[in-house]
Amino acid sequence: MSGILLAGFGGQGILFAGKQLALAGMKSGKQVSWLPSYGPEMRGGTANCSVNIEDEPIGSPVVSKPDILVAMNLPSFQKFEDKVVSGGIIILDSSLVGIKTKRDDVNIKYIPATRLADENNLGGLANVIMLGQLLKAYNLFDYAYFGECLMAAAPKSKPQLGELNVKALKIGYEYEG
């Protein structure tokens, strides 16, 4: 089905976003894997994670040729743009990356996710806005189903976090570039 690479700065919620995709995949009965880049750098450094969602058992957890790239900063976009398979999808945070793709064989969506998050009082949830746009571009999961997964993933003591995530998902899903 899909090899997904999510990349950006540490602190943008890259690993969280990837985990939500893996969780939703697992709950829908798919084979899934989630692998973070890990290194000495954490906040402010680069972060990426590989998510596989497949019907068959997963071999390498490393997504080296992504079907889907979710990029949230310039270095990540420049590093992984060429690795996306032909016909693949790129979701790019255009409020943080000012350049356009040089490829004509991918489906790219530019969404100012970080600006949209700030404007809607959802600071820190640009990652989920990106996922909303991804679901719009490609029916990886049913939009309503994924919203339920986000609600279920929130800690029981803080259900409002789930609601905020669902709100961010909606903004990303409804954004028309």
The nearest distance, CB 16 to another protein, in angstroms, is 12
What is the rounded CA–CA span in Å between residue 148 and residue 144? Answer: 6
Which CB atom, from 34 or from 173, has the smaller least distance to another protein? 34
Burial 50-69 (b: 16+ CB within 10 A, else e): bbbbeeeeeeeeebeebbbb
Q: Collapsing DSSP states into helix, strand and coil, what is residue 177?
A: coil
Residues in contact with another protein by CB under 8 A are 19, 22-23, 26, 31-36, 38-40, 57-62, 64
The nearest distance, CB 163 to another protein, in angstroms, is 22
* The residue type at 45: G
Q: Give backbone dihedrals phi and psi of 56, rounded to 5 degrees, phi first.
A: -95, 160
Which CB atom, from 1 or from 35, has the smaller least distance to another protein? 35
Which CB atom, from 17 or from 108, has the smaller least distance to another protein? 17
What is the rounded CA–CA span in Å between residue 60 and residue 65? Answer: 11
The nearest distance, CB 57 to another protein, in angstroms, is 8
Burial of 105 (0-12, 13-18, 19+ CB in 10 A): exposed
Which CB atom, from 26 or from 74, has the smaller least distance to another protein? 26
The nearest distance, CB 112 to another protein, in angstroms, is 30
The nearest distance, CB 51 to another protein, in angstroms, is 9
Asked if residues 21 and 140 have their Cβ atoms less than 8 Å apart, the reply is yes
Which CB atom, from 42 or from 99, has the smaller least distance to another protein? 42
Asked if residues 60 and 3 have their Cβ atoms less than 8 Å apart, the reply is no
